Each structure stands twice: as structure tokens, then as C-alpha cells.
Amino acid sequence: MKEKNLKRLWSWIWAAVLAVLLAVIIRFYLFVPILVDGISMMPTLHSDDRVIINRFGEVDRFDVIVFREADGKEYIKRVIGLPGDTVEYKADQLYINGKKYDEPYLDTYKEKLKDGYLTDDYSSKDQLDGGKIPKDTYFVLGDNRRASKDSRIIGPIPLSKVLGTTPICYWPIEDAKLID
């Protein structure tokens, strides 16, 4: 009887250790929670929102990503341009490789504007050699275009600095959502 209880105890201990180990791996390596700091991604994300970084999968156009700059600070921005793209804004309208793109995630802010445009005129041809986003880099912008330190200022973001995409905002609970 004692041997059976001892085996049962060890199986519970083993299950608990395995569960803790899996939780640590998932928490620190797969789906990492991040605190949003600042207003550059409003209205999509607000300061003190909490999001989860997905470290796996491809980065696609319009994904929201987290990257780390040389100063160690983490930034959250939206991918607009992929390697080889040209990016241009004219009269608040986005053009990638000459093709017009809608940005529905900006509609709320655009409706509230009383003066000017949300996104100033911009062309990657004026900033980048050959006008194209270099290989293994991304052109990123904050959704709050008037208050964002992004690729218009710091240049394209190397893939090596990208920590992952942020598909989910989970806190505050009333604002929990899939990020589009």
C-alpha cells in the first residue's frame, strides 16, 4: 500500500514540475506579455494596455510588431513596408509600390481630425537609397502618426531586432481584442 501511495505522490510531483516547466517555457519563450508604454499606437493600443508577443510565424504587412532598439527599449509599431517595397503618403493616402491601400484601423482618428492630415506626405524615395525598403528590414509606423517615433525618423527596422507580432491585447479586460 505504501509503495502505491509513493508512486502516486511521485506522479503528482512529476506532473506539477512538468506543468511549471511548460508554463515557464510558454511565458518566456513563446507568448511573452508586454506592457504598452506611450500613445504612438492609439487608437489601436493605449498606454498601459497589455499585449502578447507571438515569437513565431511570418511578419506580414499591417501586423503590429514589437522590436528592441539599441537603447534596449521595446517599441510597438505597425508594419507598413516589407523588404523591396516603396512607401509613399500623399494627402493622407498610403501607396505601396504605387498601389493605393486603405488603412481602416486609422478611420477613428481621421474622423476626429479638425485640421490637416493624420499622416504627413512622405516618400521612401526621399529617405532610402533607391527608395526601397532594404532586404531583411521593415518600414513601421505608429497608428498615432502625429506622435510616433517610427521609420520616418529612425529608418527601417532590421528583422534581427523584431521580437515578434502582437496579435492579442488582453488587458484591460474590457478592451481585450484581437489586434487587426
Q: How many CA atoms lie within 13 A of 113 on its CB side?
A: 16
Catalytic position from the list 4, 47, 77, 148? 77
- Measured CA to CA, the distance from residue 35 to residue 49 in angstroms comes to 6
Q: Which of 33, 66, 28, 55 is nearest to 142 (CA)?
A: 66
Do the beta carbons of residue 131 and residue 86 sit within 8 Å?
Answer: yes
Catalytic position from the list 7, 40, 47, 123? 40
| 7 is known as an active-site residue | no
| 123 is known as an active-site residue | no
- Measured CA to CA, the distance from residue 156 to residue 140 in angstroms comes to 7
Q: Which residues are annotated as catalytic?
A: 40, 77
